[in-house]
Amino acid sequence: MFIRTKYLNQLINNMDQPTIKILVGVRRCGKTTILDQFRATLRRQEISPSQIQVINFEYLLENELCNPEYLLQFILDRLSKHQMNYIFLDEVEVVPQFARVVNALNSLSNTDVYITSSNKTILEKENLQQMTPYIIIPVFPCSFREYIKRNQQEADSQTLYQYLNEGGFPYTHEIHGPINLRNYVNGIINTIIITDFVQQATLCNPGLTKQLAHHLAHHAGTTQNISQIVDSLKRHHITTSNKTVDFYLQFLQTSFIFYPCKEYDFSRRHVKSTNIRYYPVDPSIRQALTLKKNVLSQRILENIVFIDLLSQGYQVYSGRIKDNEITFVAIKNDIFTCIQIAYSLADDGAYRRAISGLRQLSSKYRKLLITVKPALNYAGLDPDIEIIDLYSWLTN
């Protein structure tokens, strides 16, 4: 089993602390497996099985354990009184008033609580206020650096092409053949669209939701607004309204299939509510929805970098200064890293166009030019612009 060290270490570092550990991410990205790996760590430390309780609610929708009062008492009755107890609640958001149950468990002096969710609603303010203190651990499908480590491969164009078309969902490593792979990823998408809508007791048009997901996948990395999407769907003989599309668009983000990338305007120093781009959480999502192989194109590579930045804990926006676009503005600990992605720098003109936006930014910002093909001949021409190749960036 491939050990996802980055996530496992976060759990180990927060073990036995009075904080609720909340793992969130798209279905099948590996949250449950990470908790399995953590429980293996507990067993190696000679933690008794009687100190560990595991409940996975994914298949318990009609079970009495989904009754919050019954669930709480069920767990309390099985606690080891004079030892630390490790409580794991998988997909806990299906339980009504789950936050109250989790908080009650965490308030005990001999419990260490871990929960997972595939729905962003668990992070709503009213839920988090009931589950303090907490630590949120966003989980993503395997990154490119994890992919090559798991497969013991070198970081090169051939391996990247494989990653773009196989994706990073952990179980895809066990699947052989592009058709089987596409069916598996489509199964994830369909489960999210149908199951999660049912859990929310919401009327759903699965066909429209899938068409919207297809539109976002096909236009990943391009600026979108609701009216544009409605018009595009109408051109494909799908009649809908702005309100409906907005609702379904929020759902696709809530279930972590797509992530929004808003625009940061350097001239006004604020994030705009319009000019939003959407990126699928994994390259296999785009391939499954569009039925097209992913290639080493500018937009698809931007997608990989965007999700990689999110997985490293950055807030990520697209950037604009005057008439120049900056591919990404990544912010962590109030430090701005401004990134321009260029597939290649064929000549001096291409280099000047690539860095035109970065040149206009203040020197207080870190500036990166990421290229797929080596650009060593341009290194050092602009001292405050660091040039790095894509493979080095993705494997650091």
pTM of whole model > 0.75?
A: yes
Q: 241-288 pLDDT, tens per residue? A: 999 999 999 999 999 999 999 999 998 899 998 889 999 999 999 999
pLDDT (mean) for 305-316: 97
Dihedrals phi, psi of 271, to nearest 5 degrees: -90, 125
Q: Across the chain, where does the E strand assignment appear?
A: 20-24, 52-56, 85-90, 111-117, 134-138, 258-265, 270-280, 315-321, 324-332, 335-342, 366-371, 385-389
What are the pLDDT digits (tens) for 164-198? Answer: 999 999 999 899 898 999 999 999 999 998 877 66
Are 281 and 24 within 8 A, CB to CB? no
Cα separation of 48 and 256, whole Å? Answer: 35
Angle formed by the axes of helices 68-76 and 98-106, to 10°? 20
Report pLDDT digits (tens) over 321-352.
Answer: 988 999 999 999 999 999 999 988 878 888 99
Hey, CA dihedral for 369, 372, 374, 377, is it positive or negative?
Answer: negative
Residue 321 belongs to what H/E stretch?
strand 315-321
User: At 324, which amino acid appears?
Assistant: N
CA dist 229 and 234 (Å) reads: 9
pLDDT band at 380 (very low <50, low <70, confident <90, very high): confident
Q: Residue 378 — pLDDT band, cuts 50, 70, 90?
A: confident
Residue 228 region by backbone torsions, left for phi larger than 0, else alpha for psi between -120 and 50, else beta: alpha
Cα–Cα distance for residue pair 2/18, rounded to 1 Å: 29
The two tokens of residue 106 are 């965490």
